[in-house]
Amino acid sequence: MAEPFETLITVADMRAHGADAVSASCWRCNRFWRSPIFALPPETTLAKVQALMKCHDCGNDRVHVTPVWPNGEPGLQ
Ligand SMILES: [Zn+2]
């Protein structure tokens, strides 16, 4: 499963592999949006990014976040 990699990856890792944004989706209302990551500290993990996210439509803070890979998922360990 990709889950450990997905949550432990850092902003620095994402940027190293070409991602400059994450896609987020709200568990409650299914709103889907993109958020740039350039303003975040490089050591910020994806789990932390997810914890900081909040849905602007319904205010829900249970948001699922995945990196946006411009060239497909790099498949790191
Ligand atoms: Zn929502």
Question: What's the pLDDT tens digit per position in 11-68?
Answer: 999 999 999 999 999 999 999 999 999 999 999 999 999 999 999 999 999 999 999 9
pTM of structure: 0.81
**What pLDDT is attached to residue 74?**
78
Question: What range defines the domain where residue 14 resides?
Answer: 3-67
| Residue 34 placed within a domain | yes
| Residue 15 placed within a domain | yes
CA 32 / ligand 1 centre spacing (Å)? 9
CA 35 / ligand 1 centre spacing (Å)? 15
CA 76 / ligand 1 centre spacing (Å)? 30
CA 16 / ligand 1 centre spacing (Å)? 30
CA 23 / ligand 1 centre spacing (Å)? 14
Nearest to 35 by CA among 52, 23, 47, 26: 23
- Answer yes or no: are the C-beta atoms of 34 and 22 closer than 8 Å: yes
**What pLDDT is attached to residue 7?**
82
Nearest to 65 by CA among 43, 77, 47, 39: 47
| Residue 76 placed within a domain | no
